[in-house]
Amino acid sequence: MSDRSADSAPPRFRRWEQRTEVPLFGASLLFLLGYAVRVLVPEDTEPWRDIALGLVGATWLVFAADYAVRLRLSGLGPRFVRVHWLDTVVLLLPLLRPLRLIRVYTAVQRRREQPRLSLYARVIAYAGATALLLGFSAALAVYDQEHQAPGASIRTFGDAAWWACETLTTVGYGDTVPVTAGGRVVASGLMACGLALLGAVTGSFSSWLVQVFTREDEKRPPERE
């Protein structure tokens, strides 16, 4: 997810990435849990909302500390923000951390000699897991923005989840649409991610079919004239 390959990064930077990607993914799930509790639990429910807010703040501080360490170990200085743009984006918008799933998978596979899944299975699994987490995150965010807005069609979390499914799959029935500025920003980001993930899955599946049919043609005996 950066212009600089992992192989060209300093050894200390690579070791830090390998050791922290999985714990940081766990922290991102805790962040999502805290945010979900904060959004879905009624306002008069205490102390759960305060605990959730503390969890969100604590995990974000972990992300900020990791960003600072990466910046220092990379040796890039101010160029780190441009070269590792995804790290910067997910620090500012932690709900986008599912986009880093590919790094989690890479960090795990570096401990093994060979990946357990084929290329096509890896693409589909990554796209599916990312779509699930992004869809849930976007549903939470748009519900937070919309459910109390005048004239909103997204009043419950179920409405928000249905809207997220429509948007990710690029169906867009139009029965639930964001009306607030914040909700529309979330929708724009989710539409872009949905198109990218759908394209990745479609392209990978098509390539797999072509490969299967090519192997079948190669195994077929030549026709006699």
pLDDT tens digits, one per residue of 24-67? 888 988 999 999 999 998 877 778 888 999 999 999 999 999 99
In this structure, the dihedral spanned by the alpha carbons of residues 80, 84, 85 and 88, taken in order and rounded to 10 degrees, is -70
Q: Is the pLDDT of residue 23 over 60?
A: yes
For residues 137 and 160, what is the distance between their CA atoms, to the nearest angstrom? 10
- The single-letter DSSP state of residue 97 is G
Instruction: Identify the sign of the CA torsion 13, 17, 19, 20.
Output: positive
pLDDT tens digits, one per residue of 150-175? 989 999 999 999 999 988 887 878 88
Percent of the chain with pLDDT over 90: 29
CA dist 95 → 47, 75, 154, 195, 224 (Å): 23, 27, 20, 18, 61
For helices 157-168 and 119-146, give the axis angle rounded to 10 degrees: 140
Tokens representing 73 are 């170990």
Location of structure tokens 């990312």: 130
Mean pLDDT (the chain, rounded)? 81
The reported pLDDT for the residue numbered 4 is 43
CA dist 77 → 69, 73, 74, 113, 143 (Å): 12, 9, 8, 33, 38
One-character DSSP codes across 1-15: --SS-GGGS-HHHHH
For residue 186, what is the enclosing H or E element?
Answer: helix 181-219
